[in-house]
Amino acid sequence: MEQVLKKIESNLAVVEFKSIARGIYVTDAMIKAANVNLVLATSLCPGKYLTVVEGETSAVENSLKIADETGGMQVFSSEVVNAVSFKVIDAISGKLSEKNTGSLAIIESMQIASIISSADEVVDTVQVEFADFRLARGCGVNSFYIFTGELSSVREGAKVASQYLMSRGALLASRVISGPDVEVWRWLKSSLCRC
């Protein structure tokens, strides 16, 4: 009997558009032209659109080529991010942990591909759960993620993410909160709209 192995990582194409209409149009073309799965497609403030697709390397590269050709001057940025953990991909798509225990870290950057890669470095290093993952949504141009876990893991994860982002000139902020107060958890969860 053959053992079926579950994929633990995949590749992403991340495309940011200057136009919402063009972003939606090109997203449709990317999916139709390449064997990719849509992870995230959303409008951003102000008047931009973000698309993240997942798949095999050749497929995401093809979808990025389609985005650049079809999007033209309306493509603000486009990049392939290889070998990303499905734990990160799930967080980007909104599948987040409901646990409100332990400590938490907040990592913030303006560079979408770099923040995805930093999160991947974190989950490759320590055992943590994502409480939120926003790519330039609901907060202007900044992207951030929040992860929780045991204090030692959270501190090490924040250190790994900070070093990764600092080496690329992309770190805006990194903070660890040891055992947040119950009111902080309550307000944090209520403020984490998926907008």
CATH number at residue 36: 3.30.70.1710
Listing from the earlier edge strand, what are the strands of the sheet with 103-109?
129-134, 143-149, 103-109, 171-177
| Mean pLDDT along residues 70-74 | 95
In order of 94, 130, 131, the CA distances from 101 in angstroms are: 19, 12, 11
Does residue 51 surpass a pLDDT of 80? yes
Residue 35, domain member (yes or no): yes
Q: 142 and 83 in one domain?
A: no
pLDDT at position 118:
95
Does residue 195 surpass a pLDDT of 60? no
Residue 59, domain member (yes or no): yes
pLDDT at position 139:
52
* CA-based nearest residue to 104, from 36, 177, 14: 177
pLDDT digits (tens, 9 = 90+) for 106-124: 999 988 989 999 999 999 9
pLDDT at position 5:
45
pLDDT digits (tens, 9 = 90+) for 19-45: 999 999 999 999 999 999 999 999 887
- CB distance 67 to 26 below 8 Å: yes
Count of domains forming the chain: 2
Domain that holds residue 77: 9-87
Residue 103, domain member (yes or no): yes
> Residue 65 and residue 67: Cα distance in Å, rounded?
5
Does residue 46 surpass a pLDDT of 90? no
Bridge partners, residue 78, by sequence: 15
Does residue 82 surpass a pLDDT of 50? yes
Q: 62 and 122 in one domain?
A: no
Domain boundary at 39, 62, 87, which? 87
Residue 4, domain member (yes or no): no
pLDDT digits (tens, 9 = 90+) for 130-170: 998 988 866 567 899 999 999 999 999 999 999 999 999 99
Residue 140, domain member (yes or no): yes
Predicted model pTM: 0.86
Q: 61 and 19 in one domain?
A: yes
pLDDT at position 4:
46
Half-sphere exposure of 43 (CA within 13 A, CB side): 8
